[in-house]
Chain A
Amino acid sequence: EIVLTQSPATLSLSPGERATLSCRASQSVSSYLAWYQQKPDQAPRLLIYDASNRATGIPARFSGSGFGTDFTLTISSLEPEDFAVYFCQQRSNWPLTFGGGTKVEIK
């Protein structure tokens, strides 16, 4: 099973700041990685797929990069609605696995 490790666990930032979230895979997943956003009491929402492709309707301030084992989700300038938990997920191998999440909180 591919283990995804996200860091940091919590990121404390102010609106307007840049957020950089990391996801590291225990073995190469090529570019087969997605990012999701989850707000309290809501279902997750797909943000980025195949490492760098924005899903439908996702604002341009969200971007993804990486290949192999190291991936990054960047939010260029945090809006108030961006404070949430973010999960990465790989589709390279079964079972599909998620990272443990990074909480982006208001500083």
Chain B
Amino acid sequence: EVQLVESGGGLVQPGRSLRLSCTASGFTFGDYAMSWVRQAPGKGLEWVSFIRSKPYGGTTEYAASVKVRFTISRDDSKSIAYLQMNSLKTEDTAVYYCTRHKKFSSSWYNYFDYWGQGTLVTVSS
């Protein structure tokens, strides 16, 4: 069974940092691209960050709203994806979901076929 479990959320002051983790199980983590998607309270979904699998360079993409401040990374030996969030702003308050990209042959679609339960990040003084 595929599982994605996020951790690391919490209350943080504006300008501070936080690192989220996503621990994956039930599939070969290294074969998949991964993304973080967030949802502000009572709002819609916003894609945040993406990382390719290592065979495709492990390169990354970011939403303009978080570029420079957030960094996505992965440790395939531990089946964990990370989101390092620096210089946090109040508008970063949201539930952060770890997502797996749907497989397509040896590559992937940029759609999300599995989601974690989410971890709440609250940025407030």
Q: Give the secondary structure class of A's interface.
A: loop
Q: What band does the interface of chain B fall in when counting residues whose beta carbon is under 8 Å from A?
A: 20 to 34
The chain B residue with its CB closest to the CB of A38 is B45
The chain B residue with its CB closest to the CB of A92 is B110
Contacts of A94 in B (CB 8 A): 61
- Complex Cα distance A44/B113, Å? 9
Q: Are A89 and B111 in contact (CB under 8 A)?
A: yes
- Of the candidate stretches A20-28, A73-81, A98-106, the one touching chain B is A98-106
Cβ-Cβ contact count across A and B, 8 Å cutoff: 52
- Complex Cα distance A90/B117, Å? 22
A13 interfacial by beta-carbon distance below 8 Å: no
Proximity string of chain B (22-37) to chain A, C-beta cutoff 8 Å, 1 when within and 0 when not: 0000000000000100
B63 interfacial by beta-carbon distance below 8 Å: yes
Contacts of B109 in A (CB 8 A): 49-50, 91
- Complex Cα distance A105/B44, Å? 17
Q: Are A91 and B110 in contact (CB under 8 A)?
A: yes
Most buried by B among A50, A87, A89, A95: A95
List residues of A whose CB falls within 8 A of some B CB: 1, 34, 36, 43-46, 49-50, 55-56, 87, 89, 91, 94-101
